[in-house]
Amino acid sequence: MARRILSRFGHWSSYVFAVEFDTKSDPIYFALEGKHSEGPQVFRNVLADERCYSLHVYSDDIIERAKFYGGLKNKLSKELPSECTLLEMSTFQPNVKDSVIKGYFLKDSSKSSATERVLGELLRNDPVYVCSYLCGGEDRQWSQHLWSNTEDGWVVGSEKYCVVPAEKPKHHPSTLNIINDDVFYSFEDAYKVLQQCGDIIPESKAVLELVDQRLESKEKTAFPVIVIEGLDATGKTTLTESLTEALGATLLRSPPQCLSPWRARFDTEPPLIRRAFYALGNYLTAGQIGQEARKAPVILDRYWHSTAAYAIATAVGGKLGNLPQAGSEVYGWPGDLLRPSLVLLLSLSPQERMRRLQVRGQDKTREEEELEANHLFRQKVEEAYQRIEGPACVTVDASPSPDQVLQQVLLLIREKCHL
């Protein structure tokens, strides 16, 4: 595998493979060597007698790659025997931006031949590399074998690479491809993605038509622009409405109302496409801000902080510590997007947030495991919110009563925006 995939990027020996066995621990990192080597066995503690495979998606077309990678998981979950476990896997050059090739690592404890049949089908029809991992010899060394598609069907290649442990890289692999895969730092970069989707997602054209008619607005506004950010159910709607009234302001939101007919559609798309849609929403809203902030203060329900924080938190796998360090360029503000005067982040304990969600009649029946995963996700969103700069957000305790939160926020606005 290494050879074909990596011919595009360089020599395979510079690549490292990461398998996420468990969200709370570091991935297992390994590299490949052409010859037998002594040393600790990479999978000793995590794989018993299971058969293992890896799948890597390749395509030079970023849209095809994103669509296929997203769909592959669903397809495999449906077709593979239930004894199979699919894990996230990345192949990357340590600390080299944009070097990640995404894939899945498959553990198979079934004794059936169904797994190989499904993988063989994939190999024949789809942009995917398949490898088997075998453990053999007296010292139980793991090796990787690339499958090839031949006229007689697929075969396991004769070339084998020894699997050897690799060092933990300075940056978690999921942080390497954030720029322009998950977060877009200019109008043009987001626009290009939707343009490329035109044929497969007809709705992109309608969105681009709206975007083409947007008003451009980058300059400083006459009246202050105040953004209210926070996780779902922290009280943004309640506060933005009362603030708007108290200040005689105009209430706007991102994504703007005019994108509502397409939002659900884009929410089902892979991150690349979904995030480009939200990024463009911010530019549409910026046009509206430019108009409205000539006449009155503007209160904004979500803006760039939401777009970037959710995108980064979703993209970065595993632990909170895997997020890019504070000060990283991924937390920077797009140079061509109108900057608000003040960003307030509503913060709430997980318990109170859950209580408010339940009052609203949502999220009552989550499983324990999902709760745990969501807990990690929420922590990552909040942390990313706080690391975004240009302007950075000011955290507000959203646990008091609606009126007390309003009074606290009015004081802050008076102090920071001289209103």
Ligand X SMILES: Nc1ccn([C@@H]2O[C@H](COP(=O)(O)OP(=O)(O)O)[C@@H](O)[C@H]2O)c(=O)n1
Q: Decide which of ligand X, ligand ADP, none touches 154; Cβ closer than 5 to 8 Å per partner kind.
A: none
Q: Decide which of ligand ADP, ligand X, none touches 235; Cβ closer than 5 to 8 Å per partner kind.
A: ligand ADP
Size of the residue set binding ligand X (CB under 6 A): 11
Contact pick of 168, 360, 375, 414 for ligand ADP (by CB under 6 A)? 360
Q: Strand locations in 23-75, DSSP E? A: 28-33, 51-57
Binding residues among 260-299 for ligand X as defined by CB under 6 A = 278, 281-282
Walk across the sheet containing 250-253 and list its strands.
250-253, 298-301, 225-230, 342-347, 394-397
Q: Are 254 and 282 in contact (CB under 8 A)?
A: yes
Omega into 391 within 30° of 0, i.e. cis? yes
Residue 356 interacting with ligand ADP (CB under 6 A): yes
Instruction: For residue 179, give the nearest of 62, 77, 20 by alpha carbon.
Output: 62
Q: Are 15 and 91 in contact (CB under 8 A)?
A: yes
Q: Decide which of ligand X, ligand ADP, none touches 307; Cβ closer than 5 to 8 Å per partner kind.
A: ligand X
For residue 134, give every residue at least 6 positions away whose Cβ sits within 8 Å of its Cβ, in sequence order, or none. Answer: 142, 143, 145, 160
- Residue type, position 334, single letter: P
Residue 310 interacting with ligand X (CB under 6 A): yes
In angstroms, what is the minimal distance from the CB of 232 to ligand ADP?
5
Residue 306 interacting with ligand X (CB under 6 A): yes
Instruction: State the Cα torsion 353-359-365-366 to the nearest 10°.
Output: -10
Residue 307 interacting with ligand X (CB under 6 A): yes
Q: Any alpha helices (H) in 93-202, and if so which ranges? A: 114-125, 187-196
Q: Which two tokens stand for residue 98?
A: 């944009």
Query: Distance (Å, rounded) from C-alpha 45 to C-alpha 22?
Result: 13
Omega into 261 within 30° of 0, i.e. cis? no
In angstroms, what is the minimal distance from the CB of 381 to ligand X?
8
Q: Which stretch binds ligand ADP (CB under 6 A): 36-44, 274-282, 314-322, 354-362?
A: 354-362
Name the 3-class secondary structure at 181. coil
Binding residues among 205-244 for ligand ADP as defined by CB under 6 A = 230, 232-238
Q: Are 302 and 227 in contact (CB under 8 A)?
A: yes
Q: Decide which of ligand ADP, ligand X, none touches 230; Cβ closer than 5 to 8 Å per partner kind.
A: ligand ADP
Residue 402 interacting with ligand ADP (CB under 6 A): yes
Q: Which two tokens stand for residue 177?
A: 């491809």
Radius of gyration of the chain (CA): 24
Q: Decide which of ligand X, ligand ADP, none touches 331; Cβ closer than 5 to 8 Å per partner kind.
A: none
Q: Which stretch binds ligand X (CB under 6 A): 38-46, 51-59, 306-314, 397-405?
A: 306-314
Instruction: Give the residue with the Cβ less far from ligand X, 271 or 318.
Output: 271
In angstroms, what is the minimal distance from the CB of 294 to ligand ADP?
27
In angstroms, what is the minimal distance from the CB of 264 to ligand X?
10
Residue 303 interacting with ligand X (CB under 6 A): yes
> Which spans of this chain sit near ligand ADP (rule: CB under 6 A)?
230, 232-238, 356, 359-360, 398, 401-402, 405
> Which spans of this chain sit near ligand X (rule: CB under 6 A)?
232, 254-255, 278, 281-282, 302-303, 306-307, 310
